[in-house]
Amino acid sequence: MTESAEFRLVNRLGLHARAAAQLVQTANRFKADVVVAKDGEEVNGKSIMGLLMLAAPVGSLLRVTVTGTDAAEAMQAIGALINDGFGER
């Protein structure tokens, strides 16, 4: 199963190191593959270095694609994390 959704970064600092680490930690709870894209650049959502290379400030639009048997659960958890501003709002 594949799930795909777009999320706008609402936390003040965007996808900085701590936020990226939280996203990786959340993604790693699931078996599904996670791909995060910004402006056409795609990275592994389970790689902190990849996520940091996106250089995504507040207001950036991220497309998250999750593929695997637990894709729906993974997307729900990742979406909740991003929409909550990584707990920083």
Query: What is the spatial distance between Cα 34 and Cα 75, in angstroms, rounded to a whole number?
Result: 9
Query: What is the spatial distance between Cα 45 and Cα 30, in angstroms, rounded to a whole number?
Result: 11
Single-letter code of the amino acid located at 51? L
Choose, from 9, 14, 16, 82, the residue flagged as catalytic: 16
Question: Residue 16 catalytic?
Answer: yes
Alpha helices in 1-89 (DSSP H): 17-27, 48-53, 71-83
Active site residues per annotation: 16
